[in-house]
Structure 1
């Protein structure tokens, strides 16, 4: 019965968010004003969380939290008859990045003990409160500063933090996530529209998410200017002070080191074999054969979240523009969170 109420509550939560996003500020009621102020507080506390990006993340959730989507997702799993406490150490690199873990724990029949990221402290508690109201108070959760007396843990951190977490939680059932990033592989015949969608995969959330593309593979004869042309829709990104600081710093380093790079005054392209690139920089490499690309992807598989490319390249890829649109059954690090929660 709890699960039915919780699912119904999620559907109502989705409708509530959708209604809010559709309104002009002149139409706001008191609850809408509270919601808008929450978004503004989040941006003040973490300038990377712009109102635009927060609303983009919220809109994504309204598309996911439909009755059909939720039921198609959870029917593949069993709900625990004995509730356990599952510690969640949430990331804060992009808005609401930890919400999927929270929902997964609740719908699996357990109680999340949530340690929020200092970078994302406003939105998840607000949505949880609303979800609980819409679910006849059947959503149990705890917000904690320190994890204690838990049965399992799901934690997300940097590679350095992950080593510490793996040691600290070695005696508990756990999922420990590390840094990941995403790559794009161009065939060379992409349309301007497809390249514009690739720009969304690169620049959404300023490139801070694990699903953001930081490395692009291009054919030997690909003209670099085609990429810069596709990026123009995001030229205003340089007006964000934190992004601009990263751009200025990385540009200065490259100039001092006399590195070769291509620059369009808001993002740099650098020919580099590294998978991860600094913020405001996209690494690229030219390939002669698809075997080179496949070999690199295989060698770096545990560090790659997703691959953006055309289907015909045979890379288990997603379409251009889809990187920031994961489904409910798309799991971080490709570890099935719901399957893990079945055995807690």
Structure 2
């Protein structure tokens, strides 16, 4: 199966996904296999919350639309043009996927297939259905994919390399278990925002998107703010008030109540707007419904700190304060060439 054929199939998948949005599922008669897959996908989106309570229709639709926007001829060409695939020998690559946000492992799935390899997928128990549905759609577009895509419920066997995503604890297990195989092992990471106090209201509203999208469960969600001494959080709280309805979601609300109670019983000083707590803390990983903050005196010193802590950080958000930072509101809209942990997955796969 040639790469150009695979690319065409993913473009067709992008067209299929483009029909679905929270406001309106609009069926396009020109899209392949809608008779079999359109209604089933709508049903699956709305059933996803019963499979994983965090996968509300709003969050699943957002992920679906993100992939619809990514899987275009222009984006795929821009991404793949940087590589020469002529010497790739087909191998079987095992994937152990996370399940914290909808379709979180799809980029690895796409990367393995588009680079010429076969994929052996072990899904997370928290996200078992969405990626399998998209795989079935690809196989309907081109049955040759059946030779390249396998899912397993047991342990991975008969593979040549592995990409595994998990916590810091599971990563140690992965590193031991897969020590004799080429691998990418992903651990816990968090994202941060660097503020100066000169941000516009729009910047801070967009920062709210970086904090609250997927309820803050993703590694690209901002969980830590760096602010200058004497920073006034009033403008921040006024801007993120747009996201106040998050507290009406029971799972989020339960986390807010629990984590706030734990902080207060420990006599921690909190800033609170009744749906988000801010706590001064040097750590990067804040619990759901809370964001940590830390003051800085010198931006150059902060840049050095962020560089030293790079292995703990997925994204840095700022108004170009920090090199290679991401604009406010863009953390959950990565391009195909924005690799997790800054590890070039395609380059890894080409060298197998």
If the length of structure 2 is used for normalisation, what is the TM-score?
A: 0.93
Give me the whole-angstrom Cα distance separating, in 1, the residues matched to 2:22 and 2:289: 32
Indicate which of 140, 159, 170 corresponds to 1:161.
170
1:250-265 aligned at under 5 Å gives the runs: 250-265=259-274
1:206-262 per-residue CA deviation (whole Å, 9 max, x = no partner) reads: 011111001101122321121111111111111111111111111111121111001
Distance 1:85 1:250, change over 3 A: same
Give me the whole-angstrom Cα distance separating, in 2, the residues matched to 1:26 and 1:100: 25
Match of 2:4 in 1: 4
Indicate which of 318, 324, 331 corresponds to 1:316.
324
Indicate which of 244, 248, 266 corresponds to 1:235.
244
Q: Is the 2:88–2:350 contact (alpha carbons within 8 Å) kept by the matching residues of 1?
A: no
Correspondence 1:49 to 2:49:
no
1:67-106 aligned at under 5 Å gives the runs: 67-79=73-85, 81-106=88-113
- Which secondary structure state, in structure 2, belongs to the residue aligned with residue 184 of structure 1? strand
Give me the whole-angstrom Cα distance separating, in 1, the residues matched to 2:21 and 2:281: 41
Give me the whole-angstrom Cα distance separating, in 1, the residues matched to 2:22 and 2:52: 24
Match of 2:139 in 1: 132
RMSD: 1.8
Match of 1:123 in 2: 130
Could you tell which deviates more after superposition, 131-140 or 56-65? Answer: 131-140
Q: Is the 2:19–2:25 contact (alpha carbons within 8 Å) kept by the matching residues of 1?
A: no
Correspondence 1:342 to 2:350:
yes
For structure 1, list consecutive stretches of 5 or more residues without a partner in the other structure: none
- Which secondary structure state, in structure 1, belongs to the residue aligned with residue 128 of structure 2? coil
Give me the whole-angstrom Cα distance separating, in 1, the residues matched to 2:268 and 2:162: 43
1:257-336 aligned at under 5 Å gives the runs: 257-311=266-320, 313-336=321-344
For structure 2, list consecutive stretches of 5 or more residues without a partner in the other structure: 28-33
If the length of structure 1 is used for normalisation, what is the TM-score?
A: 0.95
Give me the whole-angstrom Cα distance separating, in 2, the residues matched to 1:168 and 1:333: 21
Q: Is the 1:38–1:123 contact (alpha carbons within 8 Å) kept by the matching residues of 2?
A: yes
